[in-house]
Amino acid sequence: MTHHPIVPLDPTGDALHDLTREATAFLTDWLSELPASPASDYRDTARLTALLRRPPGDDPGHLGDLLDTFRQAAGQGVNTAGPGYLAYFPAGGLVSSVLAEMLAQAANRFTGVAQTAPALVAMEHGVLTWLAARFGLPPGSGGLVTTGASPANLSALVAARHARLGEDARDGTLYVTEHTHLSIAKAARIAGLPGRGVRVVPSTPDLRMDVAAAARMIEADRAAGLRPFLLAGTAGTTSTGTVDPLPELARLARAHDLWFHVDAAYGGGFQLTRRGRATLTGIGEADSIAFDPHKSLFLPYGTGVLLVRDPALLHAAHAADGQYLQDIGQIGDLPDFGHLGVELTREFRGLRLWLPLHLHGVRAFEEALDEKLDQATLVHRELAADPRLDVPWEPDLTVVVFRPRGGDEAGRELLARINATRRVYLSSTTLGGRFYLRLCVLSVRTRPSHVRLALDTIRTTLDHLTPTP
């Protein structure tokens, strides 16, 4: 049996230095290997999953061996951190945010209430205030950093339910489309609304919410004794990246005294760019906005944001009290994040946003996002020029959907063959009952050369599927 040196639970001095040095060397090697790593790899999954189910032993292990096991495990499946990942919503995971998270976790400060870490709460609150202003929300707006848009959507819906319906939500109705993210309906279920309360508004041929149809449904529901309370627009749908007509939806919501929520989980980051602001016109009229910096700000997964026009309504829906909190007092105008969302105990999430924005500067994010918009335009133009493909919609942002003219089975085979190359990884969706391939340019590590590689892979695969006579 190999005997390894014991690492104390709370290492200091040389032991701490050795641990961090080895982990940093691993990180450096890992990142240097990403450009050449497969976009997906399942060749060793069965062996590794069996190995990694083993329980920990009583005796100490060796960090180098454990890191090697992690390297193998992280190499399995889809490489969402790599440049060839063009499915769903890639981001990459900025190293500066990774370092920020390491520091924040080492500090391990409680930020559920401002009193326990006022300066760190101020740091997080400052980023939220800046984001609210960039989205066009008025002074006094605020919010909180969440683990993603799903809990952000949930807290927004709970606030809307509390503000518009009070204690009895049984007859409440909210309005989505078939393209609205599933987390909205899930949030409604968790919040206690019956399934019949989630109304699905028809979409226009260009996949946007039909405002006139929404108006008719709201009026009919109210006439039937129901209580419409929330209208959900989307700034970048998951299937196609399409942006709903936000100005018209905002006016409709105001006319009927509905809470206007915008799910900008994917599209929110593009608000930093001139083109993005034009596409997202009207988002500043929202009562609440859900946004995932782990998508269009390139941050690691687990970073979401909820912005609200009136934080007092968020507080009213989520605040609670207990005798064990009697020592906690208000610190100036700093928010107690534990009273704005579902979590009381929460780590300090602000640094993973604050450090990259201050270190790189906002212009760096704007330029990177503009490049993604340019590359998506290129993808659409080149795929639309191929007579073998049907490319029916121009991208609002950076998602392009397409299908071979041979039908659904040909589309499934095309996707399987593309992903089998392990050079790039695409995803699919179903629209109007038809199968479409889906390509999203978003990762910070996806450069024009990788987009060209994806286009070449699509064409080459098509050549094998539809050989020239």
In tens digits, what is the pLDDT along the chain, a chain of 469 residues? 556 678 889 999 999 999 999 999 999 999 999 989 999 999 888 888 888 898 998 889 999 999 999 999 999 999 999 999 999 998 889 999 999 999 999 999 999 999 999 999 999 999 999 999 999 999 999 999 999 999 999 999 999 999 999 988 889 999 999 999 999 999 999 999 999 999 999 999 999 999 999 999 999 999 999 999 999 999 999 999 999 999 999 999 999 999 999 999 999 999 999 999 999 999 999 999 999 999 999 999 999 999 999 999 999 999 988 776 777 778 889 999 999 999 989 999 999 999 999 999 999 999 999 999 999 999 999 999 999 999 999 999 999 999 999 999 999 999 999 999 999 999 999 999 999 999 999 999 999 999 999 999 999 999 988 655 4
| Residue partners of 111: CB distance under 8 A and separation at least 6 | 117, 120, 121, 124, 337, 346, 347, 348, 349, 350
Q: What is the pLDDT of residues 394-421, one digit of tens each?
A: 999 999 999 999 999 999 999 999 999 9
Nearest Cα residue to 341 out of 307, 302, 365, 371 = 307
Q: How far apart are CA 468 and CA 73, in angstroms?
A: 42
Gyration radius from the chain CA atoms: 24
What's 138's DSSP letter? P
Tell me, what's the pLDDT at 469? 47
Tell me, what's the pLDDT at 2? 58
Query: Looking only at Cα atoms, what is the longest distance across the chain?
Result: 81
Tell me, what's the pLDDT at 3? 61
Q: Nearest 5°: phi and psi at 13?
A: 55, -130
Tell me, what's the pLDDT at 251? 98
**pTM, 2 dp:** 0.95
Q: Nearest 5°: phi and psi at 174?
A: -130, 160
Q: What is the pLDDT of residues 142-182, one digit of tens each?
A: 999 999 999 999 999 999 999 999 988 889 999 999 999 99
Residue 99: how many other CB atoms lie within 10 Å: 17
Domains of the chain: 100-360 (3.40.640.10), 362-465 (3.90.1150.10)
Tell me, what's the pLDDT at 466? 67
Q: What is the 3-state secondary structure (H, E, C) of 185-216?
A: HHHHHHCCCCHHHEEEECECCCCCECHHHHHH
